[in-house]
Structure 1
Amino acid sequence: MVTNQDAEAASAAAPGPGATVDPMRLASRWRSQTEWDRAVPELEAEPEPSELNTVNSSGLFSVVSTDKLSVKYLGSHHHGHDVGVVQADRPAPTRRAVYYFEMAVRNAGYKGQTSIGFTSESFKMRRQPGWESNSCGYHGDDGHLYRGLGKGEPFGPKFTSGDIIGAGINYLSQEFFFTKNGAPVGAIPKEIKGPLYPTIAVHSQGEELTVNFGKEPFCFDIEGYILEEKMKQQSVSDKLNLETDISHWIVRSYLLHYGYQDTLNAFDMANATDPPTNRQNGHAEPPETYGLSHRKLLRQLIMSGDIDSTFKRLGEWYPQVIKDEKSVICLLLHSQRFIEYIRAEQLEDAVHYGRANLASFLTHEAFEWLLKDSVALLAYEKPAESCLGYLMGSPQREFVADAVNAAVLSTNPTMKDPESCLYSCLERLLRQLTVCSLERRAFNNDQGDAFLLHKEMQNYERSRRS
């Protein structure tokens, strides 16, 4: 995931060949589980319409129910301006693939002149949506679509009492679309700029509508529609011509980078192919093969909680990594050793170890918060069940293992690209994909979905469990 912190870290000075990893660049990768869980909602947070606006409406001709979800026509239909128009309390959110809402026609009234659509904030509240510029509306009495041209165009079937009509914005294709009783009616190009409000209107005696902004299940399968639209987008990229073994090479480089030697061997055997050459520098042997067997063992030791052996092996193989006893790698390893004592319920040993090995890191800028959280585990009777319990899980061990792996890679004297020690090719590709998708959204007036890896993983987990 690309965040401001990632961007700041990316601009920091990169380590040169043979140097250990810059602590602030490592720190930009660290997240607690709580931070991960709230990262995407914070990045994508947008207020959504939840009810009808009882203030900015043509109150002379309509009344909104106390729950602010229904509207009824009360006026006298003498001319075209006697319209009961009501907007939602907020504009349609834009940072998503699709926005959609529905209305149920409880009563089509005397003439069935109900309508649904989108209007701008400055829309005249005594006109049907689509009768003025910067608006679009699908009308029930004639089935026509109006989009500010003063004259409707044939679009879909009429609708009346008992029908459920939906209106949406497809930000992927930049279109408005409408539905009737769960079936698509049609779509038109979205030519209106700026914030748009979901809008409904009544125009003759007895007409009554109820809206659904998503609190209740929609009649239309909106999730299926979104999936189908995303598959259309995916089909465009699927037509791109790529080298036949590019996917194999990207996965293999990831396994190499993080020292998963056993998985790498199984992967090569399963694909029954020779290891592809390095396309980055033309060498037959990628730079990630540096210290592969050592990095494999170091990862295994850390993931099993054996930090003492990790220190010992580093001292034998890569002493420069832990030569500075106040380095970020030493901090991470010592804090993990402290955590391992707590995992084993050896609290007295943890206290002694903390006093002897953690005190000198209290002013360490990069991981000050990690150190404080680690020490705070002592305050809980059941630390694994506390708000800091994430420190005692395998993801924290994996983070420390990744940091040590990066530090070892950075000691490779032949490494030409210092960034390579921090990120595998796959991760750089995903970061680039994120940046490009955010740029595309900015180009479209901040409208549309963006690729965020953590959000995609959350969606995958939800679909896998369902």
Structure 2
Amino acid sequence: MVANQEAEAGSPGAGTTVDPMRLASRWRCPTEWDRAAAELDAEPLPSELNTVNSSGLFAVVSTDKLSVRYLGSHNHGHDVGVVQANRPAPTRRPVYYFEMGVKNAGYKGQTSIGFTTDSFKMRRQPGWESNSCGYHGDDGHLYRGQGKGESFGPKFTSGDTIGAGINYLSQELFFTKNGSLVGAVPKDLKGPLYPTVAVHSQGEELTVNFGKEPFCFDIEGYILEEKMRQQSVTDKVKLEEPNISHWIVRSYLLHYGYQDTLNSFDLANATDPPASRQNGHREPPPEIYGLSHRKLLRQLIMSGDIDTTFKRLGEWYPQVIKDEKSVICFLLHSQRFIEYIRAEQLEDAVKYARANLASFLTHKAFEGLLKESVALLAYEKPAESCIGYLLDAPQREFVADAVNAAVLSTNPAMKDPESCLYSCLERLLRQLTVCSFERRTFNNDQGDAFLLHKEVRSCERSRR
């Protein structure tokens, strides 16, 4: 079947309009990926107490504005020394958390911790007004916008460390005491929420930790457990096709021409992979098209042998390089130039650029990669330069993927042009990304969004 498909490669496929340059978004340099992740999660963090917008019934004890002591008379219920953080809690993350240390519980131990909105009356304990929530030390009660508290946890006093957090995964507020979880309640509060602490009787003194110092509570372990708990819910969803995960992995290997790995995968699983049926007969998946050729082309590009790649394409799929101004020709020529730089053959690189890259100077679509590739000539040690990533394996892989997509696009049986660019696994990941952003939008732009690069880096840090 493969031989027959390869023989028919002269027929134009449905994917002739697909732009393989779109694959470049997967192969950003590590710095670009880190910058993209940082921009996605960029939010100013609470760093100190806001001593201006406050009740004023306290003294700032430290110059870093992270500790307060009560100065009021404690004659009335509104004689509260309440103070918010200088910024609201960040929302683009799975969890936000901060802690306060009770340095002195004072006369009545009426310290409290929680979250309030920007319209909160700054002479009231958190939880005593609507759109606020507070855990109080004198009775261990939780107050959620009502004058009467509800039984929640243990009391706290001098020497205790109390934490408050927002779990955006479960949409809950949670509180801790001395490193242990006390409990959680639904997050009914709307709008930006400010970390808030309060003192209410003589001698009470608090310190606040917004993350500058290690927390008493294992917040990273808590986040991991919450993610695993969310994952367990997903794992319970039954799929109609029992071998769907096997099929997804197999289709990925087929799509990118990893024939040897595919054979090992099938041998290790020793299962009959799922396939479509028509009239009672199994049909090979469209990704099997040109598999042996695509495997060899990938191996050639990953080894840096671009000259042989051109030769084999001319023999097997001449329509892919028929247009000398095509994207594929540009990518292969630019990679050949990069391989000269890698081999430190600078004179050959210059000659090759003049002969094969100069004609692409007027193409705006190629301008970025072309400029960066040629700029390698300017560095004595190009591998150590800001564009040294062009000499790394991912750049070869980008070109190999583009060639792979171009070959798949020549398949006359290819019905969906997009399918030559992305495997089923990648389309699922793209859908996951969209859904995660939709969920965050549904939760008023609160919570973590899925970004594959960030998840991979997180796994790498966990292994280390």
Question: In which range does the TM-score fall when normalised by the shorter chain?
Answer: over 0.9
| Matching residue within 152, 165, 187 for 1:168 | 165
On the 8 A contact 1:77/1:203 being kept in 2, the answer is yes
Structure 1 vs Structure 2 CA RMSD: 1.7
On the 8 A contact 1:129/1:200 being kept in 2, the answer is yes
Aligned to 1:274: 272
Q: 1:280 to 1:179 in 2, by over 3 A?
A: farther
**Structure 2 counterpart of 1:180, one-letter code:** K
> Does 2:436 correspond to 1:411?
no
> Does 2:211 correspond to 1:214?
yes
Q: 1:18 to 1:132 in 2, by over 3 A?
A: closer
Question: Displacement of 1:451 after TM fit?
Answer: 1.6
Deviations, residues 207-233 of structure 1 (Å, cap 9, x unaligned) = 111111111111111111111111221
1:150 and 1:32 map into 2 onto residues whose CA distance is 55
**Structure 2 counterpart of 1:368, one-letter code:** E
| Matching residue within 32, 36, 40 for 1:39 | 36
**Structure 2 counterpart of 1:372, one-letter code:** K
* SS of corresponding position for 1:178: strand
2:264 and 2:21 map into 1 onto residues whose CA distance is 35
Aligned to 1:10: none
- With normalisation by structure 2, the TM-score equals 0.94
Deviations, residues 166-204 of structure 1 (Å, cap 9, x unaligned) = 001111211111110011111111111110000001111
Structure 1: any 5+ residue segments left out of the alignment? 1-14
2:106 and 2:371 map into 1 onto residues whose CA distance is 66
Question: Displacement of 1:21 after TM fit?
Answer: 3.3
Question: Displacement of 1:363 after TM fit?
Answer: 2.5
* SS of corresponding position for 1:48: coil
**Structure 2 counterpart of 1:335, one-letter code:** S
**Structure 1 counterpart of 2:99, one-letter code:** E
Aligned to 2:4: none
Alignment of 1:43-58 (within 5 A): 43-58=40-55
Question: Displacement of 1:30 after TM fit?
Answer: 4.7
Aligned to 2:369: 370
Aligned to 1:309: 308
Aligned to 2:338: 339
On the 8 A contact 2:176/2:182 being kept in 1, the answer is yes
**Structure 1 counterpart of 2:335, one-letter code:** Q
Question: Displacement of 1:452 after TM fit?
Answer: 1.4
**Structure 2 counterpart of 1:54, one-letter code:** T
Alignment of 1:58-73 (within 5 A): 58-63=55-60, 65-73=62-70
2:273 and 2:184 map into 1 onto residues whose CA distance is 49
Pick which of 323-332 and 54-63 moved more. Answer: 54-63
Aligned to 1:248: 246
**Structure 1 counterpart of 2:160, one-letter code:** D
Counting aligned pairs with the same residue, the percent is: 87
**Structure 1 counterpart of 2:369, one-letter code:** L
Structure 2: any 5+ residue segments left out of the alignment? 1-11
Aligned to 2:3: none
Question: Displacement of 1:274 after TM fit?
Answer: 2.6
On the 8 A contact 2:15/2:418 being kept in 1, the answer is no
| Matching residue within 244, 247, 265 for 2:263 | 265
- With normalisation by structure 1, the TM-score equals 0.94
Q: 1:143 to 1:267 in 2, by over 3 A?
A: same
Q: 1:50 to 1:444 in 2, by over 3 A?
A: same
Q: 1:203 to 1:219 in 2, by over 3 A?
A: same
On the 8 A contact 2:15/2:417 being kept in 1, the answer is no
2:61 and 2:367 map into 1 onto residues whose CA distance is 54
Aligned to 1:392: 391
> Does 2:317 correspond to 1:318?
yes
1:449 and 1:112 map into 2 onto residues whose CA distance is 36
Aligned residues: 451
On the 8 A contact 2:294/2:407 being kept in 1, the answer is yes
| Matching residue within 224, 227, 231 for 1:227 | 224
1:118 and 1:40 map into 2 onto residues whose CA distance is 27
Question: Displacement of 1:26 after TM fit?
Answer: 4.1
